[in-house]
Amino acid sequence: MSQAIQFRKGMAVKRYHTVNLVIDETVGHHSCNVAHLVILICESMRIEPSVNLLKTALMHDVAEQWTGDIPATAKWESEEFAGALESMENYMALKNELVIPTITEYEYAILKQADMLDLVLKMQEEIGMGNFDCIGVMNRGFEAIMKNNPCSFVKEILNVTE
């Protein structure tokens, strides 16, 4: 199957299947938002995002077409589970000739900030529409961001004062 088809299948995966949402979200919605946040974070740092970073932002969850969207909390609870899941996703991507670019550790840190920031922003939107079931998810995302030395742009978006 071509990379284009694999990419489209990966983008169709539903996110947040363990939480009732007012407006559903797919990996495609999320990935587009993450890529945009990567651009904004990089601009705030006065750097240009690399092509590989932007490609990775767009593709970072595409392997979920084989594993589903596993809640971050499950991965955070068990390093062994997280490692096995990552191995499975890498195996399936390789088996299906889906190439996800390599990025630097610094770029990975930017990607993770954008990824978690998108989660928090999505949960804020849901809460704003009266979906208070999302408060716990938002709080856990916020805590994850704050544990990983967020850049000033991310702190500004989250209204965090130093």
pLDDT in the model for residue 133: 95
78-124, pLDDT tens digit by residue?
999 999 999 999 999 889 888 889 999 999 999 999 999 999 999 99
Range of the domain at 72: 3-157
SS (H, E, C) the chain: CCHHHHHHHHHCCECCCCCCCCCCCEHHHHHHHHHHHHHHHHHHCCCCCCHHHHHHHHHCCCCHHHHCCCCHHHHHHCHHHHHHHHHHHHHHHHHCCCCCCCCCHHHHHHHHHHHHHHHHHHHHHHHHCCCHHHHHHHHHHHHHHHHCCCCHHHHHHCCCCC
Proportion of the chain above pLDDT 70, given as a percent? 99
pTM for the model: 0.93
Residue at 117 is within a domain? yes
**CATH code for the domain in which residue 76 is found:** 1.10.3210.10
Structurally, how many domains does the chain consist of? 1
Averaged pLDDT, 12-29: 95
Residue at 93 is within a domain? yes
pLDDT in the model for residue 72: 87
Residue at 122 is within a domain? yes
Residue at 56 is within a domain? yes
Residue at 29 is within a domain? yes
Residue at 162 is within a domain? no
